[in-house]
Amino acid sequence: MTQSTLLSRLVAARPEPWRAYTHHAFVEQLAAGTLPEGAFRHYLVQDYLFLIQFARAYALAVFKSRSLDEMQYGLNGLKAILELEMDLHVRTCAGWGLTREAMAATPEDIPTTAYTRFVIDAGLTGDLLDLHVALSPCVIGYSVIAERLAALPGTLDPANPYAFWIAEYAGEAYRVVAEGAVATLDRLAGEDLPATRFERLADLFAQASRLEAAFWQMGLDAAR
């Protein structure tokens, strides 16, 4: 990510929440293969519920779009969640005897509700840029995290029970998704983003990053 992107400017403006999210103990334990299975299982089921709400956020992005191209981008994100990403969760949880129906019937944990409703509220009360900034720590952050973890020695070794998760989000297919999200932020922001507007977006980005970190922490807390 170059310094000319809106994403890099947001990270530079609010580095602490971003680092707390992208270097959280949860992901460090994923890399080391030491994350308790219960923590990952709780995270994955809650992330399934999270994706249901994120699909609604992308549907909102379609509604908020100003052009057919923007509508298509929102639709592509919606389809990727419903047809690809949620399926990964279903396949993984099937190994623990958890069905799609059982996951959907699981109550949302507080961090799940807090983060997803925050994103949807950002889209309802703001414009399309507000919505995509609120989405960006998740959409782009997973790629940033996984690429960093994949470069560490041993993380992709078959002995690491979480190597598949790292490989999935460090892979080329997801990298394309993340790069598209970075480009979308730049396109929506334009070339003359007022300083006051940027500060509001930076606050939005920081809060979304904090809520992402709380999502990781939820998984760790569940295993205690």
Residue 155 sits at the vertex; the CA angle it makes with 5 and 50, to the nearest 5 degrees, is: 60
For residue 119, being part of any structural domain is answered with yes
Q: How far apart are CA 220 and CA 43, in angstroms?
A: 8
Task: State the CATH number of the domain containing residue 173.
Answer: 1.20.910.10
User: Are the beta carbons of 178 and 139 closer than 8 angstroms?
Assistant: yes
Q: What is the pLDDT along the chain (224 residues), one digit of tens a residue?
A: 445 899 999 999 999 999 999 999 999 999 999 999 999 999 999 999 999 999 999 999 999 999 999 999 999 989 888 887 888 788 888 888 888 898 889 999 999 999 999 999 999 999 999 999 999 999 999 999 999 999 999 999 999 999 999 998 999 989 999 999 999 999 999 988 999 999 999 999 999 999 999 999 999 999 88
For residue 107, being part of any structural domain is answered with yes
Segments forming the whole domain that contains residue 135: 35-222
Q: How far apart are CA 208 and CA 138, in angstroms?
A: 8
For residue 73, being part of any structural domain is answered with yes
What 65-68 contacts at long range (C-beta under 8 Å, 24+ apart), as own/partner pairs, is 65/128, 66/128
Looking at the structure of the chain, the number of domains it has is 1
For residue 128, being part of any structural domain is answered with yes
Q: How far apart are CA 68 and CA 208, in angstroms?
A: 27
Cα dihedral: 86, 91, 97, 101 (round 10): 30
For residue 12, being part of any structural domain is answered with no
175: number of Cβ within 10 Å: 14
For residue 153, being part of any structural domain is answered with yes
For residue 2, being part of any structural domain is answered with no
For residue 48, being part of any structural domain is answered with yes
Q: pTM for the complete prediction? A: 0.93
